Amino acid sequence: MTNVLVCIKRVPDAAGEVTLTADAQAVDARFVGFTISAHENCAVELAVRIASQEGSGTATGGTATVLTLGTDDAVEQLRTALGLGCSAAVLIEADPAGYGPADVAREIAAVVERGAYDLVLLGNDAADTGDFQVGIRLAHALGRPVVNGASTVEVSQEEGTADTAIARVAGPDGVETYQVPMPAVVTVLEGGVEPRYPTISGRMKAKKVKIETVAPQREPSGSGRVRLLLPPAQPSAVEVLGEGPDAAKAVVDLLEKLGVAR
Amino acid sequence: MTASDARSASPARAIPATARVVVIGAGIVGNSLVHHLAQLGWRDIVQIDKGPLPNPGGSTGHASNFIFPVDHSRELADLTLDSMRQYKELGVFTESGGYEVARTEERMEELRRRMSSARAWGVPAELVTPDHVVERVPFLDKDKILGAFWCPSVGVVDSLRAGTLFRESALALGALTVLSTVEVVGMDVEEGRIRRVRTTGGDIEAETVVIACGVWSPKLATMAGASIPLTPAVHQMISVGPIPQLAERPGEISFPIVRDMDTFCYERQHGADMEVGSYAHRAILYDADEIPSIEQSKLSPTELPFTADDFDPQLEQAFELMPDALGADGAEIRYAINGLLSLTPDGGPLLGETPEVKGLWSAAAVWIKEGPGVGRAVAEWMTHGHSEIDVHHADIARFYPHQRTRAYVRSRTSEAFNKTYGIVHPGEQWDGERGKRLAPMHAAQRAAGAEFFETVGWERPFWYRSNEALLGEYGDRVLPRENEWDSRWWSPIINAEHLAMRERAGIVDLSAFAVFDVVGPAAEQAVQGTVVAQAAVADGRVIYTPVLDAKGGFRSDLTVMRLAHDHYRVVTGGLHGMADLKWFADHAPAGAAVVDQTSAFTTIGLWGPRARDILGRLTDADISHEGFPFLSCRRIELGNIEVLASRISYVGELGWELYAPMEQGARVWDLLHEAGRPDGAVPVGIGVYGTTGRLEKGYRAYGFELDGDRTIVEAGMGRPKVKNAGFVGRDAYLAQRAAAPQAVLCTMTVDDHTSAAGGKRYMLGGEPILTRDGGTLTDGHGHHPYVTSAGSAPSLGAHVLMAYLPPDQATVGNELAVSYMEELYPVTVRSNDATPLFDPTNERIKGQNSENAEP
Amino acid sequence: MILVFVETDATGATEVSRETVTFARTLAERSDGPLHAVIVGDRPAGVLDQLGGYGVSEIHHATGDGVAAYGGAAWAAAVQAAVSATDADVVLAPGTPRGMEVAAHLATRVDVPMAANVVGVSDGTGADGAPLRVARQVVGGSVLEEMVLPERPAVLTVAGHAVVDEPGAPATAALREFSPEIAEADLVARVVSIEAAEADLSSAALTSARVVVGAGRGAGSADGFDAAAELAELLGGALGVSRVVTSLGWRPHHEQIGQTGSRISPDVYIPCGISGAIQHWAGCASSKTIVAINTDENAPMVTKANYAVIGDMHEVVPAVNAEIKRRRG
């Protein structure tokens, strides 16, 4: 039995040219919509695998609960995660704009302390704010170990010993294996697992789950954001070497000039 | 060298400084159009799209690409059948067959109507059992459905590939320059004519420009000061897979497409995936200005972020219908979009030259199933002034100004969206955008319990509840209808009003007429060159005349009053009045101007044997048969009001149309009622004017019996002579007169209305005419006869149908059958020319039956 | 006082660490204060001269059993000891996975905010008592955020390849070795084993290559990468791909360049059939020269490139390969 809490964030699904809202405080997501950060999609996948009853060798049985801090709009992302196989959802209802990483970690910690979560999974960093620290701050607040940037997470359950989380991280010298006693916090990096898409039956089930809404513990201290700005567009200075295969000679001339063709 | 240098230096990138025609848009419509223009001999065609090819990011790029050929509209069915033929010629059509399944009895009835349309347009189809469906779609839960409409010729197309082939054909002729990733940023109009298209690559001078860019079209039109009244709207679609049952068969599609009509959804195989699309969600509208750029988009500008909440109910319904497939192990929702498509206020495409700017054409709001056909029709229209397939319902000139407003377009399209798969009664009325054009006597009408129907914004009384007492007076002569569908949007009061008018007199509000004047020294020349009838008549004469296109098809039928040597007044139906106005303006020579007077005058009809008595109480003018003969018009005084009276009738009775200034219309209405009271005159609604009155008299109506595919000869409206003066369509008309007709418009009556279930059924129009034993009839054009108009003939005690029959069947007394809701009812041909069934010698209209008439 | 956490490998300070030191030197010059570095674990030979040449006056070297092997919390504890010892106003770390982790642990431990992926300082020096105002990359590098770090020490990481690695005058840094106390709790999360990843399962080849050949959706299918891979081989480089390629399952994830993949900074990057979505650009923007091959001359990758060939990668790349082989005889 492993009860997993997976923390996600509703973020703009920025893909093409990004535009900002008029007050320069946020990305304008009108045309692209919102999504769950790619790293967190993998975290959800791992959470569902660990908690699933059937599944592969990693399955221990248990529950996967999804959590986010956001407004009512973020229910959309919670439902998505429920459709992927999470069985419960918690919304810390607050405007995330005013919440810095320390605020978010504190609010998540309050939820974790109330529940009996053996493992908390987060994304390595959010696709919008890219703070790279909520998981660590959360672990610190909970007094739990944390592994960052895991590609995969498995739970090892052996008779007579405490359950441990085994996380694999792509390090500079190879794949590092961490084994930490649970309860633990792990942040997940995209690439180790292929996140599933929702199924129709999953989506239908998700619709019926009642989402637990909790109020934040206290006023946030803030994110320190002053404003957003777009880097100035660089005028194109591209030199077109030619069209089609006839340009091959020019390409090789250039590669030789740059000293990489020989 | 910079990129822009390289582009301008490269011959492939050179933007031509001039073009014979600029086609904006490289979706299915633009691509088809450049092909057909090239085929018709156009050269120097420049096609521009802001996106890359072959998929520039418009609606074509994410279309579901399936085609069901049956539509209740003949025009759309013709365009679809032509498109299917073209797709097949291009080798991009895959026949899959298709079902429209019914979950309810009400839908089964609608599918029976579907069968009527299929038979009428000659599309093979049958109503089948659930077992038939699961034989071909084994993963469908047959307990969920009652039956289905099976159309084996349904298929899918590769619309992007078709587009590429179309362009290549035009390129091969040396007729076309394609500029992709070039955006139009402006259009220059000088003296009302398009002159220039401004693009990110430079300016192009052109006298003809076609906007064929789907959801962006309104934005482009605005650049030229024109209007293309469509709105981008969301159609949600998901793709679920891999589904083993689908994956095990090779190819893109091997299972029939299923339209789950009652849930407004479809399920269409795409390889191992099942696409589920929906028209059930709330209307989600955009503005053309709001559509993201290619750079701002996640997928493409017309594939917007999916709003899952809106789709959830459909997910459940789709799952219910196909649990084994959509619930298959590993089947995931792999793709989900809010796809943008174009919606128009009346659901029709927007084709033709814009009324605002000469040389600026629209080819927008077109589905994949009609794209190639529309391309051909518009190319022909641009080349010849008319198209082989009549597309007048799609004429962009059809709209009145209020119908082009953003608010109107959004309101109507919101209401229409869920009707995409809905069961729409032929008489169905809109809920929204009502009360927008009110006749001056509207308050009095409301007080009389008018049941208002809307036509181009006008609220028109179809019958008056104040006439309910007449029902007792006439009893079964009002031909009551017991079936709910047959009597929806109908009342027996219509027939009671009809009888009261025929016996006494009726007063009819005709404010919805479109009225325009042709004025100036060349006015006679303008009218003479446009209409078929002799227009060089004395002042004060009224002519009723067809208007033809150059190939001799109907453009309109209307009345013209000559008010002065340099002044004609044209009166035509509200529905196509704006298109008629444009037609006259387009054909007016120098020295003649066309001036819209629609909002200046109201028209009130006073008809019936007592009409002369009633009018006589209000005027001192000589309104005797000699003093005011049939087909004449004159200004007369009704007390202190001057009205233009025109002695004409569309209901076959003695009487006048009275044209009064709009602001005095209410007073005239009241005066007529006061004067008519002693004779028992009653207000009479459009139910009589538009249907029963005219059908008894065999009068044809444009848009029903008359359209671009029909001729004067076939409609039986020929006169002994053709005027010598030239007019549009004269040569074609002369040729038609010299040849044997391929079809003949006939009037029939239904011999027995009794259905198999025992009740009586009344046809509403659109039904196929068959032999007595159900055999198919085919006319000389290869068309199958169908009912163009249907309605009561209370004076005859019969239900009347009109249809074009094969000439050998067009004999009076011929016994045939009409198929209604998949049952045959016997009919007999009563007339094979314009001879009315009621008062065949037109005694009444001449006033001979009136007691005031001279012997 | 500016303190930089420097990541090292056998050759000395890593590339992003050198960039970070360069960035920190500018800050130190503005505040007219000293620039120190802290290294943990192994101390590569020559690092005193190397960092001295970047203006570092003193290197704090943490040694001892607790920090011999990498552990985020343990190494942060070591850096924290150096921060206390130096009373640093600003602590910088490289914007690498380990730099981020150490900085985040540090900021948490001393209970101050942390700014990740900083590319510039717009206001303040960190030493003047005023809040430090920084600009940092967010949304995968496509947006900049102005952020204030009101507390001291200001903790930040410097975005990789956002700053030019620029040595100063030769000098040698002083060395101060120390053995921090590491609490047991900080040692719980530690690496228990390292599998030297097979070359073709690691992104190391990609991030260290001088030449990267990229391939995107334009490859068309899983079979469409042969020519691009051959070109990479001919140039002694590595093959990288866009996110859509790994999403479609055509190539493994470790080849992905971009926001959620590897960030590369080769001498030459040759993206083929890659349109250049921002996520991809975030991973390749630091390439010194970009030669794009694409059918669409308006693709962002083409307009942002230094050189471009307009054409189908399936035609152009084989022709380039043939030309290289022809010249090599």
Domain borders along chain A are 4-214
Residues of C in contact with B179 (CB under 8 A): none
Q: Which CATH class is domain A4-214?
A: alpha beta
CA distances from C17 to A122, B789, C93 (A): 27, 85, 7
Q: What is the pLDDT of residue A233?
A: 74
Q: Do B296 and A236 touch (CB under 8 A)?
A: no
Nearest-angstrom CA–CA distance, B207 and C74: 76
C213 and C183 together in one domain:
no
In a domain, C250, yes or no: yes
For C305, the closest of A178, A226, A238 (CB atoms) is: A238
Residues of B in contact with A243 (CB under 8 A): 10, 12
3-state SS class at C309: strand
> Is residue B88 classed exposed, middle or buried when 0-12, 13-18 and 19+ CB atoms within 10 A define those classes?
middle
| Mean pLDDT for all residues in chain B | 94
Q: Scan residues 140-179 of C and list those with Cβ closer than 8 Å to B.
A: none
Bridge partner residues of C310 (DSSP): A243, C294
DSSP states along A128-192: TT--S-HHHHHHHHHT--EEEEEEEEEEE--TTS--EEEEEEEETTEEEEEEEESSEEEEE-TTS
C148 and C242 together in one domain:
no
Q: Which of B311, B350, B49 is nearest to B177 (CA)?
A: B49
Q: Scan residues 114-153 of A and list those with Cβ closer than 8 Å to B.
A: none
Give the amino acid at B791.
Answer: G
3-state SS class at C143: strand
pLDDT band at B296 (very low <50, low <70, confident <90, very high): confident
Q: What is the pLDDT of residue C221?
A: 82
Percent of chain C with pLDDT over 70: 98
pLDDT beyond 70 at B13:
no
Q: Do A249 and C323 touch (CB under 8 A)?
A: yes
Q: Do A199 and B318 touch (CB under 8 A)?
A: no
Q: Do B333 and A197 touch (CB under 8 A)?
A: yes
Nearest-angstrom CA–CA distance, B756 and B478: 23
In a domain, C160, yes or no: yes
Is the overall model pTM greater than 0.80, yes or no?
A: yes
Q: What is the CATH number of the domain that holds C168?
A: 3.40.50.620
pLDDT beyond 70 at B8:
no
C215 and C309 together in one domain:
yes
Q: Scan residues 60-99 of A and list those with Cβ closer than 8 Å to B.
A: 76, 79-80
Q: What is the CATH number of the domain that holds C217?
A: 3.40.50.1220
Q: What number is the ipTM of this complex? A: 0.91
Confirm or reject contact between B3 and chain A (CB < 8 A). yes
Catalytic annotation, residues of B? 235, 266, 557
Say how many C-beta atoms besides its own lie within 10 A of residue B238's C-beta: 25
Place of tokens 């099942």: B274
Q: Do B181 and C303 touch (CB under 8 A)?
A: no
Q: Scan residues 193-232 of A and list those with Cβ closer than 8 Å to C.
A: 194, 223-231
In a domain, C210, yes or no: yes
Q: Do A200 and B1 touch (CB under 8 A)?
A: no
Q: Scan residues 276-295 of C and list those with Cβ closer than 8 Å to B.
A: 295
Confirm or reject contact between C221 and chain B (CB < 8 A). no
Give the count of alpha carbons within 13 A of B475, CB side only. 0
C47 and C141 together in one domain:
yes
Domain that holds residue C80: 2-187
Rounded to a whole number, what is the distance in Å from the CA of B410 to chain C's nearest CA? 34
- Under-50 pLDDT residues of chain A: 54-56
Q: How confident is the model over C168-186, as pLDDT tens digits?
A: 999 999 999 999 999 999 9
Confirm or reject contact between B14 and chain A (CB < 8 A). no
Residues of B in contact with A238 (CB under 8 A): 2-3
pLDDT beyond 70 at B12:
no
In a domain, C193, yes or no: no
Q: How confident is the model over B258-293, as pLDDT tens digits?
A: 999 999 999 999 989 999 999 988 889 999 988 988
C225 and C249 together in one domain:
yes
Q: What is the pLDDT of residue B3?
A: 36
CA nearest to C276 within chain B: B295
Rounded to a whole number, what is the distance in Å from the CA of C301 to chain B's nearest CA? 12
pLDDT beyond 60 at B681:
yes
Confirm or reject contact between B309 and chain A (CB < 8 A). yes
Residues of B in contact with C308 (CB under 8 A): 3
Rounded to a whole number, what is the distance in Å from the CA of A71 to chain C's nearest CA? 20
Examine the fold and report which residue of C163, C187, C211 is the final residue of a domain before the chain moves on.
C187
DSSP states along B74-108: HHHHHHHHHHHHHHHHHT-EEE--EEEEESSHHHH
Residues of A in contact with B294 (CB under 8 A): 16
Q: Do B240 and A200 touch (CB under 8 A)?
A: yes
Confirm or reject contact between B6 and chain A (CB < 8 A). yes
Phi/psi at A156 (5° precision): -105, 125
Q: What is the pLDDT of residue A24?
A: 93
C288 and C319 together in one domain:
yes
Residues of C in contact with B6 (CB under 8 A): 297
Task: Answer whether the bond into residue B54 is a cis peptide, omega within 30°.
Answer: yes
Q: Which chains touch A (3 or more CB pairs under 8 A)?
A: B, C
Q: How confident is the model over B381-435, as pLDDT tens digits?
A: 999 999 999 999 999 999 999 999 999 999 999 998 878 788 999 999 999 999 9
Residues of A in contact with C143 (CB under 8 A): 18, 20, 27, 228-231
C160 and C32 together in one domain:
yes
Residues of B in contact with C298 (CB under 8 A): 52, 181
C116 and C173 together in one domain:
yes
Confirm or reject contact between A203 and chain B (CB < 8 A). yes
Parallel, antiparallel, or unpaired: how do β-strands B45-48 and B21-24 relate? parallel
pLDDT beyond 90 at B141:
yes
Q: What is the pLDDT of residue A60?
A: 65
Q: Do B3 and C303 touch (CB under 8 A)?
A: yes
pLDDT band at B9 (very low <50, low <70, confident <90, very high): very low
In a domain, C194, yes or no: no
Q: How confident is the model over C200-243, as pLDDT tens digits?
A: 556 677 888 899 999 988 888 888 899 999 999 999 999 999 88
For A148, the closest of C101, C143, C194 (CB atoms) is: C101
CA nearest to C233 within chain A: A261
Q: Which chains touch C (3 or more CB pairs under 8 A)?
A: A, B
Q: What is the pLDDT of residue A158?
A: 79
Q: Do B306 and A33 touch (CB under 8 A)?
A: yes
In a domain, C119, yes or no: yes
Q: How confident is the model over C125-149, as pLDDT tens digits?
A: 777 778 899 999 999 888 999 999 9
Say how many C-beta atoms besides its own lie within 10 A of residue C263's C-beta: 22
Confirm or reject contact between A248 and chain B (CB < 8 A). no
Q: Do C300 and B295 touch (CB under 8 A)?
A: yes
C21 and C127 together in one domain:
yes
Domains contained in chain C, number: 2
C50 and C119 together in one domain:
yes
Nearest-angstrom CA–CA distance, B666 and B296: 56
For B296, the closest of A19, A76, A207 (CB atoms) is: A19
Q: Are B26 and B178 in contact (CB under 8 A)?
A: yes
Examine the fold and report which residue of C138, C159, C187 is the final residue of a domain before the chain moves on.
C187
In a domain, C314, yes or no: yes
pLDDT beyond 90 at B343:
yes
Q: Scan residues 300-319 of C and list those with Cβ closer than 8 Å to B.
A: 300, 302-303, 308
Nearest-angstrom CA–CA distance, B167 and B182: 16
Q: Do A170 and C203 touch (CB under 8 A)?
A: yes
**B627 CB contacts (<8 Å, ≥6 apart)?**
B621
pLDDT beyond 90 at C290:
yes
**B85 CB contacts (<8 Å, ≥6 apart)?**
none
C112 and C182 together in one domain:
yes
**B446 CB contacts (<8 Å, ≥6 apart)?**
none
C90 and C135 together in one domain:
yes
In a domain, C195, yes or no: no
Q: What is the pLDDT of residue B635?
A: 97
Q: How confident is the model over C1-47, as pLDDT tens digits?
A: 999 999 999 899 998 999 999 999 999 998 889 999 999 999 999 99
Rounded to a whole number, what is the distance in Å from the CA of C106 to chain B's nearest CA? 37
